[in-house]
């Protein structure tokens, strides 16, 4: 198992996940461009309530990502294989959680009667999550150096 190749696979997956934010924005803009936002469920008084719930869930996602990232960087592994697989799995989970606010924003867009301002703030939060928490090779290397059996 090649350490650098596994990181590169994870990095590619992360770039694809981050790139999906553009896809979500494209969906929003396509719906607005086609005038289909009036076919979305009529906005209701519940939209503000859902927005608050989604903000709370986004904050929760931040805290979970922060916890996983700190745990990932502090974990010491017994052997090289468990280290590489552990880093890979934790990194992919972090990257998937970085998408949570954007997905919630897309749902809010549909709940909020097609208002793009229901989506874009959440997308920006997701983009910031990707910037802040994207697993870096230097982090993987430091875990490798500090772990038992971390040679490779």
Q: pLDDT in tens for each of the 152 residues of the chain?
A: 788 999 999 999 999 999 999 999 999 999 888 876 565 555 556 778 888 999 999 999 999 999 999 988 788 888 888 888 989 999 999 999 999 999 999 999 988 777 888 899 999 999 999 999 999 999 988 888 887 554 44
Report residue 79: phi and psi, to 5°: -145, 165
| pLDDT one-digit tens code per residue, 71-90 | 887 888 888 888 889 899 99
């Amino acid at each position: 198992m090649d350490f650098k190749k596994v990181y590169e696979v994870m990095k590619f997956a992360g770039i694809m996940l981050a790139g999906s934010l553009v896809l979500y924005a494209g969906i929003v803009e396509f719906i607005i461009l086609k005038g289909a936002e009036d076919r979305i469920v009529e906005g209701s008084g519940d939209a503000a309530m859902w927005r608050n719930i989604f903000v709370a869930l986004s904050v929760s996602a931040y805290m979970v990502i922060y916890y996983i990232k700190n745990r990932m960087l502090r974990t010491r592994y017994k052997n090289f294989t468990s280290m590489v697989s552990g880093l890979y799995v934790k990194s992919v989970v972090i990257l998937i959680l970085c998408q949570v606010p954007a997905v919630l924003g897309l749902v809010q867009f549909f709940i909020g009667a097609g208002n793009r301002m229901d989506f874009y703030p959440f997308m920006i939060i997701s983009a910031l999550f990707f910037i802040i928490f994207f697993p870096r090779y230097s982090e993987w290397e430091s875990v490798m150096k500090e772990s038992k059996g971390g040679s490779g």
